[in-house]
Each structure stands twice: as structure tokens, then as C-alpha cells.
Structure 1
Amino acid sequence: MANIDLIIRRARLDDREVDILVSDGAIAEVRDAADTLDTGDAQVVDASGLTVLPSMTDCHVHLREPGFEYKEDIESGLRAAAWGGFSNIMCMANTKPVNDTAPVTEMMLEKAARHWPGGPRLFPIGALTKGLKGEELAPMAELADAGCAAFSNDGVPVKSTELFRRAMEYASDWDRVVIDHCEDPYMGVAAGVNEGAVSSRLGLPAQPDMAEALQVARDVLLAEYLELPIHLAHISCRKSVDLIRFAKARGVRVTAETAPHYLLLTEDYLEGEATQYDTNAKVNPPLRTEDDRQAMLDALNDGTIDCLATDHAPHAGHEKETEFDVAPCGITGLDTALSVTWQLVREGKLERGAFIRAWTMAPCSIFNLPVNTFRVGDPADFFLFDEDEEWTVAADTLHSKSKNTPLLGTTLKGRVKTHFIQGKKIV
């Protein structure tokens, strides 16, 4: 056992109590826990009573640096990721300047390496068009060579179908996938509330679910015609799920994600006695109906929705402390995503296998990122998790620089105790 440098003792993995042996940053062996074990010179961590889970991947995060460091920066965002159980973070390009040139990409990677040299790993997403203006393609070859893992126009849908088609084609030349924010650019853009009875009672400008589904339909038709992959961001409604399910049945190379807030909350939250007009719940796409929420859970369980992603969108307090219709859209999620989605597993609403697939294997397969499945040779990326520890979401319990979450004041269950990436403890 001379080459074993880390041993995790008596951790719960699925329905087993196991010992995990790590060598040179990789999984060397996972065996049933033994009463005695020759540990040699290895570091030994007693995980009795704790669950071990593979580190998660978040393929949709806003880290705000450069340009908006008062909301979040790479150091603070990766700190929230580390404590949230994430080893891979993909960050969107809506920075200032926009990540549409190699120097911006390289700066992001340099900051990540300086502040978190052992991970979480940062994978920038390059802008699809210059300045996210939707007028001219960004230099994709330059961005791919600099380290961009995918391309997206983020929250600014590309109006020109012809330009979007060319973007998908050019991205494929560098084996990259285009991620699309599906929103009709003329229909209730970024309204932040679902169009229906609730928005009418609240007197707010709203966006119908059709605004998302129209763009989903365009994208899957393009993907089928071009025989190229497309990834659809933060899906929120049943109409979109039905289109994606139909496309997958036809063999279209479409993948999709949803976010934890679409599994937990509905538009009704905005009419609550204590939460009416809560700008912390203003998000794009908006919280939808109970039927849409159930559709998201069903689609995750049956694989129609491939991934979970936080769409972590930090904003400073003063930006949210204003009238609902002028407040920015966005919810922070890196700190809370694990507890929220694990609670759904505990309640039997989300299958454990779907949880693991959606947070680990699926996003890593789509974007060609490292993943731990606890097979020999996999990167030793995992965290020890206390399923029973209760904690209250508050300014002093969140690691993100911004605190704009509708979960403030809520008691959640489940907390990361320590996190290893490539066999090295990062928190």
C-alpha cells in the first residue's frame, strides 16, 4: 500500500459503508469498510456517519469578474462552489469586458489558478457573438484555444436564426457545444414573472411560457437539420419539456438543464403573505406554475432534462432593494443547490440516480469535463456530506459575496463537511 496517499474510512456510498483508497489524485479502490486496515503512510480521514458523494459540476454560473466584482468575483464564487460541493464550474461571458477575446479568458483562468490552485476548476464559456450584441460572431477559434469550454450568448438571445446557425456550425469545428438561453426576443423579455393569473393580480409585466418554448422549437429544429448538438439552458416549463422529449425521440442531439429554484418554487411564492413582490425571486426565465414544477421533476427523473445547473446570478443588495419591475433578474445558488436538491431525493421526489446523473455524469459528458464515478482511475473528486446537519440560510452562512436568494431565513438540511479534489483537501 506504499503508493496509497489518502484513505477515507467508513463513509456511506449508496447503501454501503466503504473505505476509499486514493493514489496520485485518482481513485485506487473502493471496498467494503473493514474493521482493520493497513494504512501505511497514507492520510486517514474518519468519515463515520457521513455520506460521500462525487463532486458536482455546475455548467451555468455567473462569476461577474471582470467588471462587476462588487456582486461576485472569481475568488468568492469558487469559494461558494467549494463549500457547495462543486469541482467544475462553467462561467458565463456576461462580464465587462465581455469574454469575447482570449485575454479575458486567460485572465479568468489565471485568477482561478491563483486563488484556488487545487480547484474548483474553472471552465469559461466564450461569448457567441462580439459583445453579446448578436450582430457578429465572436472569434471562436481564439476563445477555444484560450480555454473556453463552450459558447453562449448568455441572457441575450440571438435574434438572427442564420447567425445562430453559423455559430453552431463553427462551434462544432472546435468540438464545442452552443448553450442557448431560450427566450423569444420580442415577448416579455426578462420580465421576471410568469404571465397568468398571478401576474395579473400583482399588476406586473410578465412573460408567457410560450416565449421559452418558441426558442426551444427553433433550436431543436436547427439541431436536427444540421445534425449538431445544442444545449438548452435553465428550462422552466412543460411546453419546453414536451418539445425536448419529442426531439430526443427523433434522435436530435439536444441536451437540457433546469435549475433548483424551478424544482422548489412556483409563481405563487410572489403572492405569499411575507414574500409578495420579493425581488429575490425575480429570475429569468421566471418561476412558473405548479404543473411546470412537476414537469421539471418528471423530466429530470426520466432523463428528458439531462442536467441540473444553478444559474448562480449574484447581485448586490441595493440592486434588489427596489421595485419589482426594475430589479435585476437572478438568484444565487452555489451555496444552497446541494441541500435543496438532496432534500428532494430524501422526500422521494427526485431519484437518487437522477440526482447523481444531473450533477455529475451528464454535464461532464456534454462538455467533456473530468468526472468521478468512483471507478479505479477516476479523479478523486468527492466531498463528505452530513445529511442531517441543519443550517439556516443567512448572510453569515453563505460564502457567495451576494445574498440574493428567496431562501433567506429558511432552514435547510445537509451540509458539506470537507471536500477533496484530486485527492487534496480544498475546504
Structure 2
Amino acid sequence: MQAEIISIGTELTTGAKLDTNSQWLSLELAEIGISVIAHTTIADDLDEMVATLRTAAERSEIVLITGGLGPTLDDLTREAMAKFGNVPLVQHEPSLEHVKAMFAKRNRPMPERNLIQAMFPEGSEPLPNPRGTAPGIWMPYQRQDGEISHVAAMPGVPSEMKQMFRQQVLPRLDGSGQVIRRARINLFGVGESQAEEILGDLTARGRDPDVGITVHEATITLRITAMASSVDECRAKIEKTRETILNRMGTLVFGVEDEELEHALVRLLRLRRASLSTAESGTGGLLAHRLTGVAGFETCYMGGVVVPTNTAKRELVSVDPMLIRQYGAISQEVALAIAKGCRQRFGTNFALAVTEWPEFDPDDPLGQVPASFVALAGPNVAKVEKVQHFGDPAIAKSRTAKVAMNLLRLQLIEG
């Protein structure tokens, strides 16, 4: 059994709003072993909605729709379903009473336009909506091959949609007798192509469980998807693949699921009973922001300073102006001096420093690729890493902050 999800609304196709319903529904369907083959987003256009509905229902047993059930003229889902099924819209008295009761409960008169929310394609079944005025719709559809597909329309408001799905739609779905479970492993310090090369056959098409690779701001996430007849069997498949990934990727792996580098770093610092301070120029306090967002950071992160100017470097972390004149503010020598001065200022075991970098245009083929430096100072350790700034300038701060945190993470693991 397979499903498709259709999101309705011009506010989605124009980018004014983000569709989060489709992701949530896909995860819910996976819990009962129903694979989703397509997400489609359509503007409030009746003909396009009908055509998309017909295509989806002809190839998938389940079609879930969100949005377009409101009372306004651009809410066309019920009309599209009626036209798609070649049936008229008919009034459903219990639904009409529900809509009236919702307005009465709020001490508001019901506009005549809201009567449309009690109209349903003939032969369909209303799905009660205890949280709002828009009932959902459950509608069977006979395909050209004689098989029956089912179309469920739900409100676009996430809180209403989720309750309706769990209470009204989910009990109507048989599932496939299979379950799907997922897991994520996060890595840093290697490119996507190199990661795939190290993983080898793990990312081969058709492998069970499937291993996919996604990249976000230089963090690589390996997504493991397993399908089996039981949850325990899925977990066993995932665990075996997880062990193989850990063996092949080694210290490139820093966490699982929603864990970020700052979570891994704070965990290691607390484990080693070590303290950290930061001094940032180019990242403008992003390191401090991320570290202080981790529960328990107070036991290991002692604070930080932002040093975007030479004066700040001199006054806040005691960098010798002669050093800056000799090597330049963007240099490994100054980066290390900032880290050492920061460590001394806060009295911490370790300090991380980030220099600034010049502005750059990634679309200029003749432009020089700029660089910055991150430095680590600690007991018997002084390390500097050069960061080349290529690609999207919007992620330069995030990527550089991650390089700095990863430098200390590896030191704590290997040192």
C-alpha cells in the first residue's frame, strides 16, 4: 500500500507559509508501514486540484489532503473533490449543527458563507473536527482498474489536522502489515562525496535498510530507514547498520538524531570535568550562543568575548598590536594569541578563538577564496585550523563555529 499527500494553498506555493503537515503525515504513515511516494503542493486553482487528485488516486491507495476546507471563496477542496468524483455537493445536517454550535460557543454570529462547511461530496463521509469549524472528508474513489482508493481531506491548521488524522483517519487505514522505523547519525569534518566513498555499499540503491545522505551547513546526516514486520526487527536492522557506520566513519560521528556539535562538545567537557571559554571575531558570538543553548552548559562553559576589532583584541584578550601589524588580524599567529589570551582571561582549561574573514562573492570566478582561522589553546596544546570560505556566504558563520567546536571535540577524544 502506498500513499500520496497533497497540500492545498496559494500561501504555500508562493512561499508565504511553510508546509509542515506533509512531513508530519509521512512520519505517521510510516509508523503503520505505509510508504509515501509523493508530496504535492497546489495553489488554490480548481482545475489543477482536480487533475492532481485524479492522478494521485489512480496510482495510490491513500490520498491525504490538507487545507482548503475553510469558508472563503479560495477554499476549493470540497468543490474539487466533488468534481473529481463527478458527484454533487450535498448538505450534511449534523455538520451544519456543529458549525453553528462552534459559533454559538464563541458568542459570535455565523456568517452565511460558513454554510459551505456543511457541504460534502455525495457518497462521502464527514470527519468531525472538535477543534474547529471545518469538518474533514473521507471519500472512496473507484479507479479505472476497478480498485478502490480513499481520499481524506483535513484542515490545514496543524493542531486540527493532527487530531483529526489520529482520531478519524488513522483508524480507517489498514496499513501494510509492515512497520517503518528511522534513525539518524550525524557527522562533521568530511564532504558528502567523501562520506559516500567511505560508506561504500551502505548507500547502494535497494539496500535494506536504506541509508541516505543529507547535508546542512557542513553537517552530514545519515538517515537509516528500515521496513519489517515488527518494530523489534526494524530496530535490529538499524542497530546492525549503525554499528557498521560507526566502524567506518570513526570520530567523524558526533551524535544521533537532533544532536548538534555543541551537544557533543558540552557532553565531553562535562565528562572530562574541563572548562571552556571563547573569543570570537567573524562568528560574532555564535559559538557562545550555541553553547549556552545546551542543558548543563554552566558546569563547563565559563563565558566568552566578541573581538571584532584590533582594539577589542588588545583590550579584551591582550593580543600584542605588534603581532597584528606583523602577521595581520587574519592569521594563525593572531588566532592562537586570541585563544591564549582568552584562556588566561577566564582561567579555563581550554579556549577557542575565531578570526574574522573578508567579504566574498562566491559567484565571482576570478575572486580569491578567503580564509579565516580557528584556534585552540589548552594544557600542553596549541592548535590552529584554516577555514576556506567557499560556497554560500550565509552559512559561513555556522560552518566556522562548527569547525571550532569540532577542533576541541577531537582534542578531547584523542588527547
TM (normalized to structure 2)? 0.25
TM-score (norm. length: structure 1) = 0.25
State which structure, 1 or 2, has the greater radius of gyration over its C-alpha atoms.
2
